[in-house]
Amino acid sequence: MANVDDKHHLISEVDHEVHPGPMNIQFDSSDLRSKRPFYIEPTNIVNVNDVIQRVSDHASALNKRIHYYSRLSTPADTALIAPDHVVPAPEECYVYSPLGSAYKLKSYTEGYGKNTSLVTIFMIWNTMMGTSILSIPWGIKQAGFTTGMCIIMLMGLLTLYCCYRVVKSRDTIHSLNTTTWEYPDVCRYYFGSFGQWSSLLCSLVSLVGAMIVYWVLMSNFLFNTGKFIFNFVHHINDTDTILGANNSNLVICPSPGSGGHSDNDSMIFYANDTAVQQFEKWWNRSKTVPFYLIGLLLPLLNFKSPSFFSKFNILGTVSVLYLIFLVTLKSIQLGFHLEFHWFVPTEFFVPEIRFHFPQLTGVLTLAFFIHNCIITLLKNNKNQENNVRDLCIAYMLVTLTYLYIGVLVFASFPSPPLSKDCIEQNFLDNFPSGDILSFIARIFLLFQMMTVYPLLGYLARVQLLGHVFGDVYPSIFHVLIFNIIIVGAGVIMACFYPNIGGIIRYSGAACGLAFVFIYPSLIYMISLHREERLTWPKLIFHIFIIILGLANLIAQFFV
């Protein structure tokens, strides 16, 4: 005790006092809570525009308090150790790729992860794989077969290089401790608040675009499922395979002669059957089904924490594997139908090189997108020195998967009776609604999307409301307005413009512009320039990448 006036007593008092533990460093506490570190969770970091991050007063006071209390007792004494409800829980960490999976990642408190290379590679592949698979065959069709294959491989390499730049971007910052940083933090460091806001904007564009695509697809799948069940119950042999091949109703062309999409199958004529007509009226792909989904999904969006939904992550993997199986089976049944015409379209085939190829690059930008959370995914790798190698292997596997599905669907599309131009933006649409295998695929994808949708909504909400209002859940009112806007956008698109290929390529090119093309290259060039290591070849190469990104975006509007 520091008793100022009894100075002459002080020494003897010190002798009498038993000074316990804090001086005795051999003491070890069996209670792990005493070793638990206290850190300021990001929600308490209130001001990110200043150079120094300010922490909320409340969190700072708690930090000081815990610090002080720890000096008052021995490590074995549990009386002054912060209980669980006081120390902030570790932050929930979600990784997501807009059109792939979204799930909660377990964060390792020791600072390094325990995943083997195989697990890391699988996680990267799993996160990237998702509904973008459905549009790849259409993309190949738009670009031409040979061009399409080349573009897939080249885009894979390009996005891989940019991803490599993202992973290495933290190493260029030497003055600060960047171990907890993700890519938006690096952007903020280099570009200030402009970097922060633009990365937020791009992230939101990708998330909202993905959610709109999900809504369109969910309406589609729900419609087809309902139709299948109705037809099955009423034993109606689906006659919309008028345009199918001979006896096999394996593939249909929903809208002959154009890539457009007929919404309500009004070309099918049935006998005067009031039940069927009623069903047609109340179960319409673009007029009614999108609205039924609102009742199902809008409540789910209002949850404060979506950790429940992240448990269903396995559905995504199962859906992709099933799609691969489905495509393999169908292509065995249908056989290959390929003819090579280089520049001139024929009745059944498309030319190998087409001017619509930017549509494919737009789709692929979102298909290969993982730059927002690759740092977090690689953090859990046990052997950090293998990060680059594992990343390359993962990208290679993703490219192979896309090539496999795209090429098989395109090649096995029965061209003599049907034109390759019939390949739909969602290739499952090419199968009749009575086909049981694709029915199963639609069910899987429907459930998977219904579990990922609230997660994406949560991530969009956290990012937008967190930065604009400073609070991730300001009030049920704000959250409800936000959700209604997003759902409304989805419903409107499902009613009037249900072309998922179009939505994917626009949002992909827009959000990819910042995260994939511009920022990695720019940051690399700036860091080299600061170290005086910028050479002309590197400068030209990276400027070329930036130009490619810009061209990608501009071309979407013209082709």
Residue closer to another protein by CB (options 72, 492) is: 72
User: Cβ 83 to another protein, closest distance in Å?
Assistant: 7
User: Cβ 470 to another protein, closest distance in Å?
Assistant: 15
One residue of 27, 35, 53, 57 binding another protein per CB under 8 A:
57
Our separate counts of H helices and E strands in the chain read: 17, 4
User: Cβ 39 to another protein, closest distance in Å?
Assistant: 17
**Residues 141, 354 contacting (CB under 8 angstroms):** no
Q: Where are the beta strands (DSSP E) in 329-487?
A: none
77 binds another protein (CB under 8 A): yes
User: Cβ 209 to another protein, closest distance in Å?
Assistant: 38
Residue closer to another protein by CB (options 56, 117) is: 56
Amino acid letter, 297: L
Coil, strand or helix: which one is 46?
Answer: strand
344 binds another protein (CB under 8 A): no
Please give the residues from 79 up to 118 whose contact with another protein meets the rule CB under 8 A. 79-80, 82-83, 85-86
23 binds another protein (CB under 8 A): yes
Token pair recorded at residue 321: 């594997």
45 binds another protein (CB under 8 A): no
User: Cβ 42 to another protein, closest distance in Å?
Assistant: 20
One residue of 65, 234, 311, 530 binding another protein per CB under 8 A:
65
Token pair recorded at residue 185: 């933090």
φ/ψ (deg, to 5) at 52: -95, 130
Token pair recorded at residue 354: 């087409």
User: Cβ 109 to another protein, closest distance in Å?
Assistant: 21
11 binds another protein (CB under 8 A): yes
For residues 303 and 458, what is the distance between their CA atoms, to the nearest angstrom? 8
User: Cβ 474 to another protein, closest distance in Å?
Assistant: 17
Left if phi > 0, otherwise alpha if psi is -120 to 50, otherwise beta: which for 3? beta
User: Cβ 1 to another protein, closest distance in Å?
Assistant: 6
Stretch of residues binding another protein (CB under 8 A), selected from 59-67, 168-176, 215-223, 277-285: 59-67
φ/ψ (deg, to 5) at 374: -65, -35
For residues 153 and 277, what is the distance between their CA atoms, to the nearest angstrom? 48
One residue of 8, 16, 71, 174 binding another protein per CB under 8 A:
71
User: Cβ 189 to another protein, closest distance in Å?
Assistant: 24
The one-character DSSP state at 254 is S
**Residues 435, 250 contacting (CB under 8 angstroms):** yes
25 binds another protein (CB under 8 A): no
**Residues 230, 300 contacting (CB under 8 angstroms):** no
Dmax (CA) for the chain in angstroms is 111
Token pair recorded at residue 21: 């533990």
Cα→Cα distances 142→137, 314, 472, Å: 9, 32, 41
Stretch of residues binding another protein (CB under 8 A), selected from 56-64, 283-291, 465-473, 544-552: 56-64
For residues 198 and 217, what is the distance between their CA atoms, to the nearest angstrom? 28
Residue closer to another protein by CB (options 12, 248) is: 12
User: Cβ 422 to another protein, closest distance in Å?
Assistant: 60
43 binds another protein (CB under 8 A): no
How many residues in the chain? 559
For residues 384 and 113, what is the distance between their CA atoms, to the nearest angstrom? 9
14 binds another protein (CB under 8 A): yes
One residue of 46, 61, 440, 554 binding another protein per CB under 8 A:
61
Residue closer to another protein by CB (options 69, 270) is: 69
Binding site for another protein (CB under 8 A): 1-5, 7, 10-11, 14, 17-20, 23, 57-58, 60-62, 64-65, 67-69, 71-74, 77, 79-80, 82-83, 85-86
